[in-house]
Structure 1
Amino acid sequence: MQLRTITVPEAFIHRTDPLRVEPDGSEPSGTDLHHGPGTEAEVVEAAGSAEAPAAPRRGGRDRYLDLLRALALIRVVIYHNFGWTWLPLLFPSMGVMFALAGSLMARSLKRPAWSVIRSRTRRLLPPMWMFGAVVLTAMIYDGWGPHSEGHPHWWWGKLAFWVLPLSTPPFAQTVHGFGGHLPHSWAEQVVVPLWYLRAYLWYVLLSPLMLKAIRRLPWVTLLVPLAGSAFLNSGLVDQSGRIMETATDFTTFGACWLLGMAHQEGLLRRIPQYVVPSIAPLVLVAGFWLLQRAPVDDPRVGPDLEAVPLAQAVWSFGCVMLLLHLSPSWERWPKPLERFNGVITLLNSRAVTVYLWHCVALVMTEPIIDQLWNSQFAYAHLRWLLTSQWFPLLVAVPLIVLALLLFGWVEDAAAKRRPRLFPYPRRAKGRRRAIL
């Protein structure tokens, strides 16, 4: 049986793809794609942290931001399963998550900068170390090693990026596939989320300087990453190599991170209310125009925003401007959304785990579906289901839940919270738990 490979766009594979950390117990909690909500946490973005990036108007959690994080995470999973190129246009998840993380970082930097950086790094790295321990072991067992790339000494040195991801951690381009049960490129597919952790780490390290710049020259600072992205993608610069890879991602989403900081600092509220709704559509038109001008690898699929960094930078900037301008700051869910409280809270609590392990879950659907093809009953009566693009996603969801049970507690330990097996919100006494 020929194996199905998960639909991971080429841009994500080359960049090693589009979660984050939580605040100390001294601050109210929220989430960013790296850690879950809780009274003591932040979320590391990829994809978060457990403290709300922008403080609600009257204190407490901002459910609007929780909703944005959950939508961003769901969109990423769906995109990696289907590869629909219109999804990033509908909701640019990575730009949104970087903006929320930037807002959270600006809020946290009211404390000493070094303590904030140390706290965020502590919450970011342990979930990645757990992921690396499993994935590295699997890659080595499947045939990857020092001699696979022909540079054994460099191989050992590059493994340090699995400890501190200042650059993309190394991974196997091709392996044996565990006797044909998985595609030879399975390792390349499962490490897709790591680029986000690398970019997030650099933003955290540079945030004290970025915050000073946004306070002194806000509009100039906001435009610097966009100008940098235009220069790097002008064709005048060789973009190969680890340094350029990091610089490209930094300039692509730097303006979104800075927008989040500006939002938290109240800079966006100082301009007239009509300015953002007037400018943002023009920015979106510019981003869409850049996307249409980019070369298309597959005419059947069309242009993919994730594969055009400059277009993604401009489009994400425009969308984030609108979302932060709206920002209703819900302390309580609007009634139509109350029933989704459990799932949204769970996704915010385990954002890093979901983000890191969802590609593993999608890859693992292949041997499971292949076994179903070997069943006479399934082959005779369920071929319509086995050939559906939705079926791998349906299989992946319980695998993601399994990853939450096995590895989600690391996020709690990293945030110095009491580890929880499955942090679904408890039902209040006298009330029924909201269900989907």
Structure 2
Amino acid sequence: MVDTGLVRRIEAGTAGGRDRAVDGLRAAAILGVVLGHWLVTATVVTGDGVSVASPLAHLGGLTWASWVLQTLAVFFLVGGRAAVLGYRRPYRAWLARRLRRLFRPVVALLAVWTVVIAALLAAGAGPRTVHTVLTLVLSPLWFLLVFAGLTALTPLATRLHPAWPLLTVAVVDVARIGLDGPAALGWLNVVAGWLVPFTLGARFFHRRYGWALLIGGAVATVALVRWAGYPAAMVGVPGEFSNLNPPTLAAVTFGLAQCGAALLLHGPLRRLLRAPRAWAVVAVANLSAMTVFLWHQTAMLAVTGLALRAAGPLPGLHTTPDSPAWLAARLVWLPLFGAALAGCWALFHRAELGRPRTGTG
């Protein structure tokens, strides 16, 4: 239930011309990332310590989850849209405000985990365990760095056609994969690949492009997976070639399809969010979007660690994700991950908010 008084305050404090559907799409994208990580990231406890595994490496039928829950392109799409709508001169002051909002909650995360890692080392945790934990906790930061860089490019994004970064991704993939060029070339795609949906949001955020992007992106992705050898999973699988790290052409065309779907849903979502209660849920989620994103892995690790200490290795938390039984057990744990994340939110969301507000300029 949403508090009636809070609903009224949020409704009264929301600008009349605000595009609520953009916030709705952002909230959905964050939810997809969180659920995706919780579902396909497994911590396996062995005598050598804790390591990361993925059910996608063992359960091929779960690949569809990466198509539904890997929603980064939608986040960059609405990020480009929000950046353009909120852009104000002077540029430096505008950028400083946006970067403060992005990185303010990072300070709390790093402070907490500095203490936790020190405690783990003092307790005798091995290098493998510490490396695994740090990788899971700090992995969201790559996204913030890329998003901050693209935000800084907002003035350019208002003039750049997304076909150019898309072409860059294609050329880089041909060079590094087709011609066996240096693997380091792929890191050009970290910027170019996510610049495609960002510029779409900045310049072409309209329903009339929706079907073309959805159908064209889907067809291109199927063709790349079927005939060009790209993996079907749209997230990284340990030990296998990744579509996401760095982004490949298949990941970008898949993102185009997602962006098309988002543009088609924009109108219905805007109508839905005219309802004050529905809007209040989305508004509150957006005010803490970075807190949720940064702490969701911590929430999962907190449940994993406490359960291991209390009961030893448990199915769905500490075992190899190689059977439907593991997946069924994992689904049972998801509500506890959510409860732990709510606890993290209660403790740390004020670090993101600064002064309370209902808008996102």
Q: Is TM (by shorter chain) over 0.5?
A: yes
In structure 2, relative to structure 1, the CA distance for the partners of 1:334 and 1:191 (3 Å cut) is: closer
Match of 2:272, SS state, is coil
**Larger RCO, structure (CA 8 Å, separation 6 or more):** 2
**What is the identity percentage for the equivalent residue pairs of Structure 1 and Structure 2?**
22
More helix per residue: 2
Counterpart of 1:161 in structure 2 is: none
Are the equivalent residues in 1 in contact too, given 2:166–2:196 (CA < 8 A)?
Answer: yes
Pick one of 283, 287, 291 that aligns with 1:353: 291
From 39, 44, 68, give the equivalent of 2:25: 68
Number of the residue aligned with 2:145: 198
| Shift in alpha-carbon separation, 1:291–1:252, aligned structure 2, 3 A | farther
What number of residue pairs does the alignment pair up?
Answer: 308
Kept in 1, the 8 Å contact 2:213–2:256? The answer is no
Map of 1:89-100 to 2, 5 A cutoff? 89-90=67-68, 92-100=70-78
Structure 1: stretches of 5+ with no match in the other structure: 1-36, 41-50, 145-174, 215-220, 376-383, 424-436
SS in 2 for 1:367: helix
Alignment of 1:166-177 (within 5 A): 177=125
1:122 alignment partner AA: R
Matched residue type, 2:125? G
- 1:256 aligned partner: 197
Do the aligned partners of 1:105 and 1:207 also contact (CA within 8 Å) in 2? yes
Task: Give the CA deviation at 1:94.
Answer: 0.7
Q: Which amino acid aligns with 1:405?
A: A
TM-score (norm 1): 0.60
8 A contact 1:353–1:408 mirrored in 2? yes
Which of 136, 141, 145 is matched with 1:189 structurally?
Answer: 136
Aligned equivalent of 2:156, options 189, 209, 231: 209
| Partner Cα separation in structure 1 for residue 70 and residue 300 of structure 2 | 21
Q: 1:280 maps to which residue?
A: 214
Structure 1 residues 124 and 184 mapped into 2: Cα distance closer, same or farther (>3 Å)? closer
Asked if the contact 1:60–1:331 (Cα under 8 Å) also holds between the matched residues in 2, the reply is no
**Conserved in 2, the CA contact under 8 Å of 1:291 and 1:303?**
no
C-alpha distance in 2, partners of 1:295/1:76?
19
The DSSP-based 3-state class of the residue aligned with 1:177 is coil
Q: 1:85 aligns to what SS in structure 2? A: helix
- The structural deviation recorded for 1:141 is 4.5
CA deviation profile, 1:359-418 (whole Å, cap 9, x unmatched): 11111221222245369xxxxxxxx999711233222111111111111001111xxx14
1:67-104, CA deviations, whole angstroms, 9 ceiling, x for partnerless residues? 22222122111111212532342354110011101011
Inter-partner Cα distance in structure 2 for 1:199 and 1:251: 10
Deviation at 1:195, TM superposition (A): 1.0
Give the TM-score of the pair, scaled to structure 2: 0.72
Equivalences for residues 366-381 of structure 1 within 5 A: 366-373=304-311
Who is 2:262 aligned against?
323
Query: Which residue is equivalent to 2:3?
Result: none
Pick aligned residue for 2:109 from 127, 131, 138: 131
* Cα pair 1:77 1:358 within 8 Å, conserved: yes
Q: 2:272 & 2:231 partners in 1: Cα distance? A: 43
Structure 1 residue 139 displacement after superposition = 3.0
* Structure 2: gaps spanning 5 or more residues: 1-9, 41-61, 314-324
Query: Which residue matches 1:28?
Result: none
How big is the alpha-carbon RMSD for the aligned residues of Structure 1 and Structure 2? 3.9
